[in-house]
Amino acid sequence: MLKFQDKVALVTGSGTGIGKAIATKFVENGASVIILGRRKEPLQEAATELEGKIPQGVNATVKIFAGVDVADETAMNEMFETLKNEGTNVDYIINNAGVSGPVTCFANSPLDEFKSTIAIHLTGTFWGSVQALKVMKEGGKIITISTFFTEEKPLEQRPYRFRSPYTASQGAKNRLAECMSWELTDKGIISIATNPGPVHSDRIYKTVYPKAAAEFMRVSGFEDLTPVEVEEAKDDLLECIEADGINKEGIAKTAEKLANGRDVAKLTETFTNLLTKIKTIAEKVQNNTSHMIANREFLSQAQVSETVLNLCDDEIAKIINGKVIPGDRVFYPVKPHIGTTAPGVHQPDFTGKAVVFTIDGTDKTDAERVEFLASHVEKNGGKVACFISQSTPQEIQDSISGKFHSHVVDIKNPDEVERWLNTAKTNIGEILAVVHVTGKLPEVGNLTELTRAGWEELVAKFIST
């Protein structure tokens, strides 16, 4: 009997890539699989391929849920309700669905794209796991796939340049996986996360590395192109990268589209040079990353799927329940956080500078913290402005506004916050820093017992605001 025969695995984001590879590995080992994703065609193709891999004599099945976005509350609710009504018991939930998110500097990342990335990676993992409890029994496993850039090591950081929304949500997924392991112990359900390193995939070669290279060019500008002009052209130009070179016809069309009175032939030449430079940088980033790996080979999708199946082993899962398992092989060189000399001690000089405090406080302690820090700024020559959330208790609002220049604002409204920051810059000088005070985590009991609305309130307060 095959190891996973008579078991059922549900894999999110499984029409292509790593998700499909995981589903394939489960099928080859006797399991039935449930695959889902936003696009119907890849799922249908994957299902046909998976059905062809069911071992002879094994009564396994492949079930599709097309058009299901893990960020869509209704779609996820309906899918798990359908499985429950059909009497399906799911043994393994594999939280794999994800997106690259915006590949750009943090300050240039649109808020809606930041929120969308969080919604898919983090909220999709949370709500999918919570809903899955309807169809799971004792002995079930929840495996969450993150990334090696969120793996913590002593005295070490792993910055993933231009990927703030992606790494923020992936890091939070690791903490969620740890939390679920504690909360689901009484149900006998195990939660584990794994951090794969770079994986051979279209996403990394055709999207991540080229977009990162394009962002380098956007920041600096290129030849006679300003950063704004590079920004306008880069998405169309990236579509012109082909396996055997670049699509010159596509570049010419982009030049015609964006010429705006300029010489099209000259702009075509500039765009060609820009795309060649982007391609060179992308290949260099890929090569540099491979040199951080002992055998200089990225993981294959099959290797990631092998890791996931091993984590689903009953005995192994019991040993590592609640852990975040490295799966990267990458030796990432970073500078240690400990210095060899003690920093000098001196009074700071904030003259001509301003510090803005945005405050979503919950109790008196928050007011005391703000008052202490703001007083320190003023004592050293700086100016202070406090933007207090509408949801902050009146007592705290009064305490802060009675001592410092303050305004009550909707800090969840990016346009309003931007307007107030510009006003502060005009009225009190260059903004040296913005200090955001979130307030305390409310008493929520178990995260896995939260409503979707309750969860999204936490995400809005501590991540998206």
Q: How far apart are CA 150 and CA 177, in angstroms?
A: 13
- pLDDT score recorded for residue 153: 63
Bridge partner list, 11: 35, 94
Q: Are 247 and 240 in contact, with CB atoms under 8 Å apart?
A: yes
Q: How far apart are CA 180 and CA 144, in angstroms?
A: 11
Q: How far apart are CA 160 and CA 208, in angstroms?
A: 11
Q: What does DSSP say about strands 190-196 and 241-242: parallel, antiparallel, or unpaired?
A: unpaired
Per CATH, 8-200+298-327 and 353-464 having the same topology is answered: yes
**Which tokens go with 367?**
């007011």
3-class secondary structure per residue, 421-445: HHHHHHHHCEEEEEEEECCCCCCCC
Give the residue extent of every domain in the chain: 8-200+298-327, 203-290, 353-464
User: Residue length, the chain?
Assistant: 465
Q: How far apart are CA 123 and CA 446, in angstroms?
A: 16
Q: What is the chain's pLDDT, residue by residue, as a tens digit (465 residues)?
A: 899 999 999 999 999 999 999 999 999 999 999 999 999 999 999 999 999 999 999 999 999 999 999 999 999 999 999 999 999 999 999 999 998 888 888 888 888 999 999 999 999 999 999 999 999 999 999 999 998 877 766 555 566 788 888 988 999 999 999 999 999 999 999 999 999 988 887 777 778 888 989 898 888 888 888 888 888 888 888 888 887 778 888 898 888 888 888 888 898 999 999 999 999 999 998 888 888 888 888 899 999 999 999 999 999 999 999 999 988 777 776 665 556 677 677 888 899 899 999 999 888 999 999 999 999 999 999 999 999 999 999 999 999 999 999 999 999 898 999 999 999 999 998 899 999 999 888 888 899 999 999 999 999 999 988
Class of domain 353-464: alpha beta
Q: How far apart are CA 244 and CA 234, in angstroms?
A: 19
- pLDDT score recorded for residue 158: 60
- pLDDT score recorded for residue 347: 83
Q: How far apart are CA 311 and CA 307, in angstroms?
A: 6
Nearest by Cα to 449 from 80, 121, 90, 183: 183
Place of tokens 């400990």: 338
**Which tokens go with 334?**
């970073």
Bridge partner list, 410: none
Nearest by Cα to 326 from 150, 203, 163: 150
- pLDDT score recorded for residue 367: 93
**Which tokens go with 444?**
């929520």
- pLDDT score recorded for residue 344: 74
CA distances from residue 6 to 2, 31, 84, 117, 249 in whole angstroms, order as listed: 9, 6, 17, 35, 53
- pLDDT score recorded for residue 197: 84
| Count of Cβ atoms closer than 10 Å to residue 213 Cβ | 25
Q: What is the DSSP string of 147-167?
A: -GGG--BTTB----TT-HHHH
Q: Are 430 and 382 in contact, with CB atoms under 8 Å apart?
A: no
Buried/exposed code over 356-376 (b: 16+ C-beta within 10 A; e: otherwise): bbbbbbbeeebbeebbeebee
Q: In what order do the strands lie in the sheet with 430-437?
A: 406-409, 383-389, 353-359, 430-437
Q: What distance, in Å, lies between the first and last C-alpha atoms of the chain? A: 52
* Sign for the pseudo-dihedral over CA of 225, 229, 230, 233: negative
| Count of Cβ atoms closer than 10 Å to residue 228 Cβ | 10
17: left (phi over 0), alpha (psi -120 to 50) or beta: left
Decide: pTM greater than 0.75: yes
Bridge partner list, 141: 92, 190
Q: Are 149 and 160 in contact, with CB atoms under 8 Å apart?
A: yes
CA R_g for the chain: 25
* Residues near 123 by beta carbon (within 8 Å), at least 6 away in sequence: 71, 455, 456, 459
Cα-flanking dihedrals φ and ψ of residue 413, to 5°? -100, 105
SS3 of 354, please?
strand
Residue type, 386: C
CATH architecture of 8-200+298-327: 3-Layer(aba) Sandwich (3.40)
Place of tokens 């017992």: 449
* Residues near 431 by beta carbon (within 8 Å), at least 6 away in sequence: 353, 354, 355, 356, 421, 424, 425
